[in-house]
Amino acid sequence: MTAPMLSGYAATLEGLQRKARLRSLSPQRGVDFTSNDFLALASAPRLKEAIIAAMERGVPAGAGGSRLLRGNHPEHEALETEAAEFFGADRALYFGSGYAANSALFSTLPQRDDLIVYDTLIHASAHEGISASKAAGVSVSHNDANAFDEAIRNWRKNGGRGRPWIAVESLYSMDGDKAPLAELVDVADRHEGFLVIDEAHATGVFGAGGRGLAAGLEGRENVLALHTCGKALGVSGALLAVPGVLADYLVNRARAFIYSTAPSPLMAAGVRVALRIAEEEPHRREALERLVALVGKGLAGRFGMEPSRSQIQPVVIGDNARAVRIAGILQAEGFDIRAIRPPTVPDGTARLRLSITLNVNPQQIASMLDCLAAAMEEHRR
């Protein structure tokens, strides 16, 4: 029996259970169709050896304090210098996670008279930062450059005086589709605004040397990019690639940076090597591209689904409970595939999120598609 002072929390959990939205932790088990370890770097021998070598030369696991105190390690600074050069940015700033970086960026840089116009499907971490910002925020239709332009024009007509900030993901984490970056940078230029590009799922996978879909735009004074290090790069943390004055502003004003213990210097050393691997081992991206094409062909031919043409492929089920049941069948057959439900995705779009990584092979993909077909037939409704 739940104690009275905990009953409200228990009731909320029971409500989630009735809606088939209750979450719980589960161990890593089965063939990996869930992780964001797209290039299989997390367990790559070259990365392991580099981290061991860093430990042997004395790089510590923990920073021991914030970057503004004693936590600023030479590995942090070396990573930021190399990352800025790699991505073609003026400066890079290393955070402990993409969530912390997005939260810091949006809660700190847009000013009181500014406007943040964001894609409705942008990451939860961006929503967190926007909600803490002094600037007003407005969402617009997904991947609609005209909607961004119209929102800014309406704001100006109604007396908007500051600068607009356009916030998008270059590759969306639940749909696997790409933002129209060329059109969006035109909108930003036209309105003398900033374009913030979350490259979380594109870094390492797309662009020359794995530089992402924003490659070629970085280095402009009005473009900011976030590159997470715990997905295709296989380590942890996140890099904000920004104009130098904005990096200095974040160091002085971003509470998530100032009041957090610095990221692990050992992980910073790992990210330095991961960036080199991304550039020096293009065969990883080529192999991933072949697997993505194989999955897309299978989904189109067997289910009539339009493939996303990226390493993130949604299989939209609709009903929460049905999505959970189908995922359960796949898991029982040895495939780690999870059901993604609201509020992570919009109501009525519960789905299986197939994440294609180099941790799988063509035979495992074929077996997974067979199992998926059987599970969907068994649970038509």
**3-class DSSP assignment, residue 316:** strand
Report the distance separating Cα 81 and Cα 36, nearest Å: 25
Report the distance separating Cα 284 and Cα 244, nearest Å: 32
Q: Which of 201, 260, 310, 359 is catalytic?
A: 201
Q: Which of 102, 114, 231, 336 is catalytic?
A: 231
Joined together, the tokens standing for residue 126 give 């961006």
Q: Is 231 a catalytic residue?
A: yes
Strands laid side by side in the 350-355 sheet: 312-318, 350-355, 339-340
Report the distance separating Cα 129 and Cα 104, nearest Å: 6
Task: Please report the sign of the dihedral spanned by the C-alpha atoms of residue 249, residue 124, residue 150, residue 170.
Answer: positive
Cβ distance 61 to 264 under 8 Å? yes
Q: Which of 80, 119, 169, 199 is catalytic?
A: 169
**3-class DSSP assignment, residue 69:** coil
Q: Is 143 a catalytic residue?
A: no
| Residue type at position 161 | R
Q: Which of 80, 149, 198, 218 is catalytic?
A: 198
Q: Which of 103, 173, 260, 264 is catalytic?
A: 173
State the greatest distance between any 2 C-alpha atoms of the chain, in Å, as a whole number: 61
Q: Is 36 a catalytic residue?
A: yes
Report the distance separating Cα 277 and Cα 88, nearest Å: 17
Give 198's strand partners. 169, 226
Q: Is 201 a catalytic residue?
A: yes
Q: Is 173 a catalytic residue?
A: yes
Name 65's Cβ contacts closer than 8 Å, sequence gap at least 6.
71, 261, 262
Q: Which of 32, 75, 119, 123 is catalytic?
A: 123
| Residue type at position 272 | R
Total residue count of the chain as it appears in this document: 381
Q: Which of 32, 36, 125, 227 is catalytic?
A: 36
Catalytic residues: 36, 123, 169, 173, 198, 201, 231
